[in-house]
């Protein structure tokens, strides 16, 4: 009877120099050992056991001959379970760190957005104050008034008349005056159209002299 030739997949034990390679090799041999004996890929179970023992040796630094053969499979499974638990723990730590990084990024982004919005409001407020101050220094008819942005920083709508002088303010319709007042922070303007025009003039900071001349 011809002697069975082992497949070339079997590696010499001395060529397995780290646990991972030895462990994978043992797993492959264990799978082939389960094949029918007449399958050309079939290997002897002893070869798989030897590979498992080699993995244990590399993992524990034990001498190969000190590992009892019946315990090889149990030790190999124990090491595999430990490896799986370690990998799971590492994955959990990685997920936790990623979540913390995402939370930090979100908080930083929110803080930057809040800071940007606050700075925009401060710039808008300073710009409006400066333009109002210029208007207060200008005599009626000498230089056109500066257009005062609304409280949200936007310029008045294109459909509204530009308030370049006191005459343009005095010519505002009730609806236009109301829209200007709402843009300048008065949500529910009250009074007749003359009162609303005077409020608009005060908000764009028409000079006191010009106000007395126009509105008395």
Q: pTM for this structure?
A: 0.48
Q: 64 versus 3: which is more confidently predicted?
A: 64
pLDDT of residue 1: 41
169 has a pLDDT exceeding 60: yes
Check if the beta carbon of residue 46 is closer than 8 Å to that of residue 60. Answer: no
Q: pLDDT by residue (tens digit) across 17-30?
A: 777 888 888 888 88
User: Per the structure block, which two tokens stand in for 35?
Assistant: 């094949």
Residues 134, 206: contact at Cβ < 8 Å?
no
Q: Is pLDDT of 75 > 50? A: yes
Tell me the DSSP string of 161-200: PP--SHHHHHT--HHHHHHHHHHTT-SS--S-HHHHHHHH
Residues with Cβ within 8 Å of 103's Cβ and at least 6 positions away in sequence, in order, are none
Report the C-alpha gap between 59 and 76 in whole angstroms. Answer: 10
List b or e across 195-208, with b for residues whose CB sees 16 or more CB atoms inside 10 angstroms: ebbbbbbebbbbbe
Whole-number average pLDDT of the chain: 81
Please tell me the predicted confidence (pLDDT) of residue 124.
86
Distance CA 9, CA 140 (A): 100
pLDDT tier at 97, thresholds 50, 70, 90: very high
Note the pLDDT of residue 104.
Answer: 93
C-alpha dist (Å) from residue 104 to 82, 97, 112: 33, 10, 12
pLDDT of residue 73: 61
d(CA 103, CA 90): 20
Give residue-wise pLDDT tens across range 149-165: 888 888 888 889 888 88
CA dist 142 and 35 (Å) reads: 104
Tell which wins on pLDDT, 54 or 129. Answer: 129
Note the pLDDT tens digit of each residue in 114-141. 999 898 888 888 888 898 888 888 776 6
Domain residue ranges in the chain: 1-100, 138-215
φ/ψ region of 68 (left if φ > 0, alpha if ψ in -120 to 50, else beta) reads beta
- Give the contacts of 173 (CB within 8 A, at least 6 positions apart): 193
**Rg of the chain taking only CA atoms, in angstroms:** 43
């Amino acid at each position: 009877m011809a002697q069975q030739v082992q497949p070339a997949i079997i590696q010499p034990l001395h060529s397995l120099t780290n646990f991972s390679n030895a462990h994978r090799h043992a797993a492959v041999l264990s799978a082939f050992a389960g094949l029918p004996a007449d399958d050309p890929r079939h290997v002897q179970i002893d070869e798989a056991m030897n590979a498992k023992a080699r993995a244990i040796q590399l993992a524990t630094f034990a001498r190969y001959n000190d590992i009892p053969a019946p315990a090889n499979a149990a030790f190999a499974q124990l090491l595999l379970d430990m490896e799986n638990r370690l990998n799971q723990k590492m994955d959990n730590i990685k997920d936790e760190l990623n979540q913390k990084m995402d939370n930090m990024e979100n908080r930083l982004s929110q803080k930057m957005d809040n800071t940007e919005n606050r700075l925009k409001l401060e710039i808008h407020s300073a710009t409006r104050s400066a333009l109002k101050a210029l208007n207060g220094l200008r005599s009626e008819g000498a230089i056109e008034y500066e257009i005062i942005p609304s409280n949200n920083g936007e310029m008045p709508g294109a459909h509204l008349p530009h308030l370049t002088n006191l005459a343009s303010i005095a010519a505002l319709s009730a609806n236009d005056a109301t829209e200007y007042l709402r843009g300048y922070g008065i949500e529910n303007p009250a009074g007749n159209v003359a009162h609303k025009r005077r409020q608009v003039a005060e908000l764009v900071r028409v000079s006191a002299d010009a106000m007395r001349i126009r509105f008395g």
